[in-house]
Amino acid sequence: MLDQTWNRERLHELIESRLGGRKFIVVSNREPFIHRHRKDGSVECIRPASGMATALHPIMMASGGTWIAHGAGDADREVVDANDCVMVPPEAPGYKLRRVWITPELELGFYYGLANEGLWPLCHITFTRPEFRPQDWAAYKEANRIFAEAVMAETNGENALVFIQDYHFCLLPRMLKDMSAGRVICAHFWHIPWPNREVFRAFPWGEELLHGLLGNDLLGFHIHYHCQNFLETVDRAIEARVDPDRHEITRGGHVTSVRPFPISIDYEADNARAQRDDVSAAIEHWYDRLPGLRGRTIGASIERLDYSKGIPLRLHGLERFLDQHPEWHDKLCFVQIAVPSRDQLGTYKAEQAAVDAAAARINKRFGTDTWQPVYLLKEHHGSVDMMALHRMASFFMVNSLHDGMNLVAKEFVASRSDEHGVLVLSLFTGASRELHQALGVNPYAVEEVANAVLTAITMPEAQQQRRMRLMREQVAHQNVFRRAGRLLTMM
Ligand code: F6P
């Protein structure tokens, strides 16, 4: 039996009571809404491909606070007020977005450099060597300081609860504690994995980084294993008292609680939205756009074009499947949406080339005048198009080599009220610890991926239904409001 339902209203009540008159401020690098120019010069507002933004948006809609983030869109400055603020979402404003501006040079060192060439590969352990450049570390510190000033301006001397997101802001909690003389309560959620202590030893400024993070009152990871890794890292690297039983670290008299809070989605909203007429119309639009999909079994994946997502290995798995199963030629199509990401970086350019090459090779080897096995779409898609693809897919693949959670897997499940469709899910995602009825795969094992494709497309309807029903129950119950409620109760 499910216990009491968690929804937006209940979370709102909880936040009101927990805040006790304090301001609620979320800080992240990526903004939840980006204003950018269309080709004709008009301005559009899009939602970025970001698990973090997906998870935080419903929480902000329930709390109605302020979200501080880097203004990265080329039309962002045109829509803000004198305080760099704009209400979002544009169609039904629910909270304030305060944009922080950083120079392209600083972005290069802070975001591309330290955060995404240093910490991202360090924490994901995907055999991509991290880069640690002193000038990036300097830019990272400077960007953290700029954000700290924006938070202080937003608090305006009042007490506040600041909820910091991710690996871009390890130094921010300590800065806020110092600048506010303790008036600010800091909670921090780490959306990516935390590596084991041996791997973390490679980070050259480890002590400073950990000291910054331990300015938090609460530090959250998706899973227990990452909390353990963090506790062990601190225990090994710096002077602090680590209490593994209470999940607490004391440094300089200040206590930081370290807890797992697996994030989730607004299941009810996604479930309802996926059934809407505009999504049904978008299905037709997909068939018009890619007529080869009609009458064929469809597989799909949607993610940022990032080496941690394992796209080339997945395509190798599909290729192996087509090699071994000629009876499926002409019958199956795979739609790969790969949203361009961090494309200034060499590792991402190389990944893009590897994805292009794999898709082209498969289409050349197996394709005919009337059948294209792989459609590679390297472009951003809105939620309506993505939900349409969820509904069209007989099987949906998430092959991350390492992923904190992966909300796309949960979004697929939420879209399938018909209880059909099979989820193939990497065992190296946080989501695989919750979605036990998915077909689990080791994304590095090409043979296993090929076998999973066969199992998925030949799975009897009754079994698909049973698995999908159980996964939907899980995501419905453990929705974002329940998960956020747990976290906020801890603050
Ligand atoms: O979910 C992890 C994450 O790093 C988010 O923090 C981020 O928004 C998302 O991936 C996308 O990355 P980026 O913001 O660099 O485009």
Please tell me the distance from the alpha carbon of residue 339 to that of residue 377, in angstroms, as a whole number: 8
Q: Given a cut of 90, is residue 442 above it in pLDDT?
A: yes
Structure tokens at 194: 């935390």
Structure tokens at 6: 């968690």
CA distances from 144 to 138, 139, 150 (A): 10, 9, 10
pLDDT tens for 350-386 read 999 999 999 999 999 999 999 999 999 999 999 999 9
Query: Looking at ligand 1, which residue's alpha carbon is closest to its atom 5?
Result: 52
342: Cβ below 6 Å to ligand 1? yes
pLDDT tens for 201-249 read 999 999 999 999 999 999 999 999 999 999 999 999 999 999 999 999 9
| Sign, CA torsion 476/190/80/71 | negative
Query: In residues, how long is the chain?
Result: 491
Question: Please, which pLDDT band fits residue 2 given cuts at 50, 70 and 90?
Answer: very low
**Amino acid residing at 403:** D
CA–centroid distance, 110 to ligand 1, in Å, is 14
Please tell me the distance from the alpha carbon of residue 98 to that of residue 101, in angstroms, as a whole number: 10
Please tell me the distance from the alpha carbon of residue 342 to that of residue 340, in angstroms, as a whole number: 7
For residue 197, what is the enclosing H or E element? helix 197-200
Tracing tokens 């330290």 back to the chain, one arrives at 114
319: Cβ below 6 Å to ligand 1? no
What integer pLDDT is reported at residue 13 of this predicted model?
87
Structure tokens at 489: 């109760």
What integer pLDDT is reported at residue 402 of this predicted model?
97
Structure tokens at 411: 């979004």
71: Cβ below 6 Å to ligand 1? no
Question: Please, which pLDDT band fits residue 3 given cuts at 50, 70 and 90?
Answer: low
Strands (E), 268-328: 297-304
Angle made by CA atoms 85, 91, 93, in degrees to the nearest 5: 45
CA–centroid distance, 167 to ligand 1, in Å, is 9
Q: What are phi and psi of 432, to 5 degrees?
A: -70, -15
| Sign, CA torsion 88/100/170/132 | positive
Contacting residues for 2 by C-beta, under 8 A, at least 6 apart: 477
Provide the 3-class DSSP secondary structure of residue 166. Answer: coil
Q: Given a cut of 80, is residue 1 above it in pLDDT?
A: no
Query: Looking at ligand 1, which residue's alpha carbon is closest to its atom 16?
Result: 341
Identify the DSSP state of 419: -
Closest atom, ligand 1, to C-alpha of 405 = 1
How large is the average pLDDT for residues 153-163?
95
Please tell me the distance from the alpha carbon of residue 313 to that of residue 322, in angstroms, as a whole number: 14
Mean pLDDT for the chain? 96
Query: Looking at ligand 1, which residue's alpha carbon is closest to its atom 12?
Result: 50
- HEC letters along 35-102: EEECCCCCEEEECCCCHHHHHHHHHHHHHCCEEEEECCCCCHHHHCCCCCEEEECCCCCCEEEEEECC
Angle made by CA atoms 19, 189, 23, in degrees to the nearest 5: 25
pLDDT tens for 54-93 read 999 999 999 899 999 999 999 999 999 999 999 999 999 9
pLDDT tens for 384-402 read 999 999 999 999 999 999 9
Query: Looking at ligand 1, which residue's alpha carbon is closest to its atom 8?
Result: 50
pTM summary value: 0.94
Closest atom, ligand 1, to C-alpha of 48 = 16
Q: Given a cut of 60, is residue 10 above it in pLDDT?
A: yes
Higher pLDDT, 13 or 326: 326
Omega within 30 of 0 (cis) for the link into 89: yes
CA distances from 134 to 111, 205, 348 (A): 14, 9, 22
- Among 28, 31, 36, 52, which is best to mutate for testing ligand 1, by the most ligand atoms less than 8 A from CB? 52
Closest by alpha carbon to 72, among 41, 118, 112, 33?
A: 33
pLDDT tens for 173-199 read 999 999 999 899 999 999 999 999 999
Angle made by CA atoms 197, 136, 345, in degrees to the nearest 5: 90
Structure tokens at 434: 């919750």
